[in-house]
Structure 1
Amino acid sequence: MTVKQRNPRKSAGNGKPVPRSADSSRTEVEETPSKYRIDWRRIVTRLLLIIGIMATVYFTKRDSMMPFAKQKEEINKRSVDISCSEDYTEELRQFQGCTPRKCGRVVWDSVIHPSEASALLNIAQRGLTLGGSAGGASILDLHSGALSQGNAFINMYKLDAIKTVFNQDDFRIYSHIKNKIHQAIANHFGISQDGLYLTHPTFFSRITSAPPKTIHDEYWHPHVDKETYESFHYTSLLYLTDYGQDFEGGRFIFVDKDSNKTVEPRRGRVSAFTSGSENLHYVEPVTSGTRYAITVSFTCDPTHAITDPKLRT
């Protein structure tokens, strides 16, 4: 850095320049750069403060919750359209008339009667007497027979006790309710019901506050259904118990850029959404009680279709 020289000082008496000593000249040269020195410590401190404020604002927005469907309100139908992600781009021609062009999410309390939900709850509770996870999350799949047991899964259809737990009426009820959800999703998203297929996995879930024992018990991580199951196009959940009454925690959370949107489970409530990354979501940890639901999944790809389950004896 070049130091700008100042004019020599003049004496008060004769106006002649007064010579400066070598020491005083050197002192000025040494002191002058301090006027131009950058205070990096102060700048770094301010930058950290700004970053901290920005991070606080970001995480406050990210973690803020806005109710999309509250448990105490009865909703005939509530929906919101969302711009589709690029997850479906390669499938638009392959599954014309089914692959989502209109993406979004919808909630109904009018599709499934509470008595029908209670019938499914009874089926789930009876089935899970045959097993159950050692951790907080158990599944029961009537299609494949997969049932949580301890830290693993078994095929419940290989158990002798299956004959005393289920009957043919259980499977007829299950299929009837599944068909009502199928039709509601096709109608809402404007697609052909004939070209929309039930797909795997479709299953009952039971969640408690028990600590996780395996990765399968960690249901609360944000995820995209289509990334987990490539064949998924539309996902739905039918809630069989009530938030705030049968359990605490366990709300369904859509992760959005502005604020997260919550769906509070209500017996008989159906929540459906397109399965791509436009609907990143997770379930809050259940803190008390027991949360029952059934996930019903649909695909546009007939090669991934599954048929209605049948009682195997």
Structure 2
Amino acid sequence: MRGPWLLVLGGLLAVPPAPADPPQPPDRLFWDGFDRFSREDWAGAQAQLWGAVRGLRELRGIRLRCGAECGLQGPGLEESVLSRAECLLGCERLQLGEPSRYRLTRDTERLFQRGLPYNYLQLTHYKLEELDEAAAAAFTFYVKNPHHEQIQDDIQRYKRMEQIQELSFRDLEQPQYQVVYTQAVSLLSEGKLRVGVRRLEESLKMYLLAMEDCRSLCEGTREQESETYRDVSEAISQYYMDILQCRQNCAKEPSLRMRVEHSTEDPLVSHLSLMLDAYSKLEDWEDAAEIARSLLVFHPQNETTRERLRGYEERLQGKSTGKLREAIALYVRRTLSEKRLLYYAMEHLNISFLDPDSWTPEEIIPESLRERVRKEQEDKKQRSGILPYEEVIVTLTPKEMNGTSRVTLDRVLNEEECSALMGLAQAAGGPGSGYRGRRSPHTPRERIQGLTVLRALQMAESGSVDVSHSRLYYRASERARLLAQSYFGMETMHFSYTHLVCRTAIMGEQEGRADLSHPVHADNCLLDPEEKECWREPPAYVHRDYSGLLYLNDDFEGGNLFFTELDATTVTAEVRPSCGRLVLFGAGGDNAHGVRAVTQGTRCAIALWFTKSAEHEEQEHSLAKDLMMGTESQTQSKESQSTGSGREASKTGRGTSATNEDPERPSGRRQKKRMSRKFEDEL
């Protein structure tokens, strides 16, 4: 319950008097704003969208204050629960009129969580020539969606505008504890330890209050995914487990990270570690010992922390109070108590639970579940949930592919994008293509066509191919690079080479075929099957670290990708190409691979090679980026002149109509027009 925590962390919040007019439901305001945006009513859309943002903030504030006011009171559990329910309903009715009007569907909640209103607001502000506000709204959306292709471009365009200052790029939803934490880190880096650690203490208290707010908002109406009928006890237990799981997941809520960027590190542990270093440098042994004890609550067997604590206690010569932070102790006790209930339900009630914390002690997990939990955590790690695109899923983990550095992802491209890129490959197969229908260098039974990103953009500039398709090729390769970089945990990954390649079976030459479309090989070493070695020496591309294949179609026979042992014979995994499927793998001998013969039809894919070395970055790709920005600027200039808006219009072509069917949408993904309010992307 919320009461004890607020007493520890700063006092109870009072319910304010009822407002004269209840706020409008935020979802109604959002969809009205969306409709006005579609009609290019920029001022009307802006008013409704800002109303939705403020309304959601006000709605959450009312629910938090009502939750704080309505604690559990009564002689028994039943009386307490009913009394609290009555109190909450009365409190919300006093503030809102009819609370049921303010219940958001799960899909709408996700739209707000992603900060979608800000992506529309940035354009409405731009159209109304409010550039400072436009940059701020764009940056707010960017913070929540740092890999969103359209917003990356928009941010760069705003930065090139002389009227916009650096201070305009601010996060309008940044929590105060993040602001204070950032200030603390800056002060510590400047050597101002004492004031810096004070700011760390402030941000820690604010963070714990924000965590408490997140937990409190887990109560409320739940959207049912099925119409399964259950008895009362089953329904109550399921609802309670849902609340507990929601509270546990607050620990991984993106808005509850100390830093703006995404991180897998536990925020509390990271924060306490920073405080420990600061107090140590200040030779404040008492506070340092207190923080060390607090850290050991999370990781009691951490020998480094234990050794540091022994050192502090020696310096204190027995004068230490032996305490740890009470707020931290309370947080851990309550979290573990909830985990015990969830693991009990998992064991006896068949309820699924994936623990978000890495510090959970094994002893609270029932012995019968430990192996299952260990496997689920390992699978979770292999599937690497932190992918930069919401729709992309891990289809085959490294374990399922019998390797360590290989993975298969789906939904990297949609059907329209695959079709557009296939069209690009066919259009480029005529005059000007690199191969002009020549036979494959690997087999005389197939023809091969190839196209680089730079060549595609050059052809678009001359009018030989559709400019939107060539830009999509560039963006698809960039999308694959970001996925590889994210999945394999690299800080930076550069292109070594990018190639759109189509292999076509030659009719009349397939009978009795036993060869391969591409023989077994490795991408950064010379495969020696007899010695079962892979020699990293010229002419191998030894600087290549990772490889990728982004498939565009599956309407052909043969053409499967397969991996082998170093003997080039023993197959360890095989993958069937399909539209939007991306296979990523290490470029070394542990991922020797080949391609089955294409015996009918045409197989197209974007082949990608990546390097960690900046000095080996593909120069063609850098030139392609410059050329792409240049062609976009020309397009934007023409659109600006035709609409009179003056904006460097984004690649979506929104300067002419917000509802036109454009090759690329604000998400960098082409989407069909939806008639329903339930949609997964912006337009």
The question of a shared fold, defined as TM-score above 0.5 by the shorter chain, is answered with yes
Structure 2 residue identity aligned to 1:198:
F
Q: 1:187 to 1:226 in 2, by over 3 A?
A: same
Q: Name the residue aligned to 1:191.
A: 490
Query: SS where residue 287 of structure 1 aligns?
Result: strand
**Which of 241, 256, 272 is residue 565 of structure 2 equivalent to?**
256
Q: Find the counterpart in structure 2 of residue 138 from structure 1.
A: 448
Change (3 A) 1:261 1:172: same
Correspondences of 1:148-187 after superposition (within 5 Å): 163-187=462-486
Higher-helix-fraction structure = 2
Distance 1:162 1:140 in 2: 18
Are the structure 2 counterparts of residues 81 and 302 from structure 1 closer, same or farther at C-alpha, using a change threshold of 3 Å?
farther
Shift of 1:270: 0.7
Q: For residue 523 of structure 2, what is the aligned residue in structure 1?
A: 225
- With over 3 angstroms needed to count, the CA separation of the structure-2 counterparts of 1:229 and 1:182, relative to structure 1, is same
- How far apart are the structure 2 equivalents of 1:299 and 1:239? 21
Task: Report if aligned partners of 1:238, 1:268 keep a CA contact under 8 Å in 2.
Answer: yes
More strand by share: 1
Q: Kindly state the Cα deviation for residue 263 of structure 1 after the two structures are TM-superposed.
A: 0.5
Q: Quote the Cα distance in structure 2 between the aligned partners of 1:297 and 1:198.
A: 6
Counterpart contact for 1:137–1:205, Cα < 8 Å: no
**Change over 3 Å in CA distance of 1:144–1:172 after alignment to 2:** closer
- Out of 263, 271, 278, the residue aligned to residue 590 of structure 2 is 278
After superposition, what is the alpha-carbon deviation per residue over 1:125-168, rounded to whole angstroms, capped at 9, x for unaligned? 1111232214524232324649xxxxxxxxx96x9x98342243
Cα distance in structure 1, aligned partners of 2:451 and 2:516: 18
Is it true that 1:129 corresponds to 2:427 in the alignment? no
Per the TM alignment, residue 219 of structure 1 is displaced from its structure 2 partner at its CA by 4.2
> Is residue 117 of structure 1 aligned with residue 418 of structure 2?
yes
2:490 counterpart SS class: coil
User: Structure 1, unaligned stretches of length 5 or more?
Assistant: 1-73, 83-101, 147-155
Structure 1: distance between partners of 2:417 and 2:501: 17
Q: CA offset at residue 239 of structure 1?
A: 0.8
Alignment-derived partner of residue 408 in structure 2 = 107
Distance 1:132 1:218, change over 3 A: farther
Q: Following the alignment from structure 1 to structure 2, what is the Cα–Cα distance between the partners of residues 144 and 172? A: 10
Aligned to 1:79: 397
- Residues 556 and 598 in structure 2, CA contact (< 8 A), matched pair in contact too: yes
Alignment match, 2:340: none
Secondary structure of 1:207's partner?
Answer: strand
Distance apart, 1:234 and its partner CA: 0.9
For 2:397 and 2:404, how far apart are their aligned partners in 1?
A: 10
Read off the aligned partner of 1:141 and give its amino acid letter: L
Cα offset for 1:177? 1.4
**In structure 2, distance between residues paired with 1:304 and 1:191:** 16
Identity of paired residues, percent? 28
- Equivalent residue of 1:173, what SS? helix
Distance in structure 2 (CA, Å) of the matches to 1:175 and 1:145: 11
Give the match's secondary structure for 2:426.
helix
Once the two structures are TM-superposed, the CA of residue 207 in structure 1 deviates from its matched residue by 1.0
Measured against aligned partners, the alpha-carbon deviations of 1:237-266 in whole angstroms (never above 9, x if no partner) come to: 111111xxx211111010137643110011
Residue 269 of structure 1: aligned partner:
581
Q: Is contact 1:231-1:299 (8 Å) kept?
A: yes
Q: Which amino acid aligns with 1:207?
A: R
Letter in 2 for 1:78: L
User: Residue 288 in 1 paired to residue 600 in 2?
Assistant: yes
* 1:190-224 residue CA offsets vs partner (Å, 9 max, x unmatched): 111xx210112x11111122369xxxx97421100
1-side partners of 2:394 and 2:454: how far apart?
33
Matched, 1:209 2:209: no
Match of 2:614 among 296, 302, 310: 302
Rate the CA distance shift 1:144–1:75 in 2: closer, same or farther, 3 A.
closer
**Pair 1:176–1:287, CA change in 2 (3 A):** same
Q: Given residue 272 of structure 1, which amino acid in structure 2 is its aligned partner? A: L
Equivalent position SS for 2:480: helix
Alignment partner of 2:473: what SS? helix
CA distance in 1, matches of 2:411, 2:551: 13
Looking at structure 2, the residues matched to 137 and 260 of structure 1 have their Cα atoms a distance apart, in angstroms, of 28
279-288 vs 297-306, which moves further: 297-306
C-alpha spacing 1:249/1:75, structure 2 compared with 1 (3 Å): farther
Q: How does 1:21-100 map to 2 (within 5 A)?
A: 76-80=394-398
Distance 1:104 1:300, change over 3 A: same
Higher-Rg structure is: 1
Q: Structure 1: how far apart are the matches of 2:587 and 2:605?
A: 18
Shift of 1:178: 1.6
Give SS of 2:518's match.
coil
Structure 2 residue aligned with 1:45: none
Which string of whole-angstrom CA distances, capped at 9 and with x for unpartnered residues, describes residues 47-78 of structure 1?
Answer: xxxxxxxxxxxxxxxxxxxxxxxxxxx96432
C-alpha displacement of 1:116? 1.8
Contact 2:425 2:451 in 1 (8 A): no
The separation in 1 between residues aligned to 2:452 and 2:602, in whole angstroms, is 20
Q: Which residue of 2 aligns with 1:92?
A: none
- Structure 2: 5+ residue stretches without partners: 1-391, 441-445, 526-539, 632-683
Q: 1:229 to 1:188 in 2, by over 3 A?
A: same
- How many Å apart are 1:175 and its aligned residue? 2.0
Q: Distance in 2 between matches of 1:174 and 1:282?
A: 24
CA RMSD after TM alignment: 3.3
Amino acid at match of 2:597: P
Distance (Å, rounded) in 2 between the aligned partners of 1:223 and 1:276: 10
Structure-1-length-normalised TM-score: 0.56
Residues 261 and 143 of structure 1: CA distance in aligned 2, closer, same or farther (over 3 Å): same
**Aligned-partner Cα distance in 2 for 1:279–1:76:** 19
Contact 1:109 1:270 in 2 (8 A): yes
Structure 2 CA distance for aligned equivalents of residues 120 and 281 of structure 1: 25
Using the alignment, how far apart are the partners of 1:292 and 1:163 within structure 2? 24
Aligned partners of 1:269 and 1:162: how far apart in 2? 29
Query: Does the C-alpha gap of structure 1 residues 277 and 81 become closer, same or farther in structure 2, counting only changes over 3 Å?
Result: farther
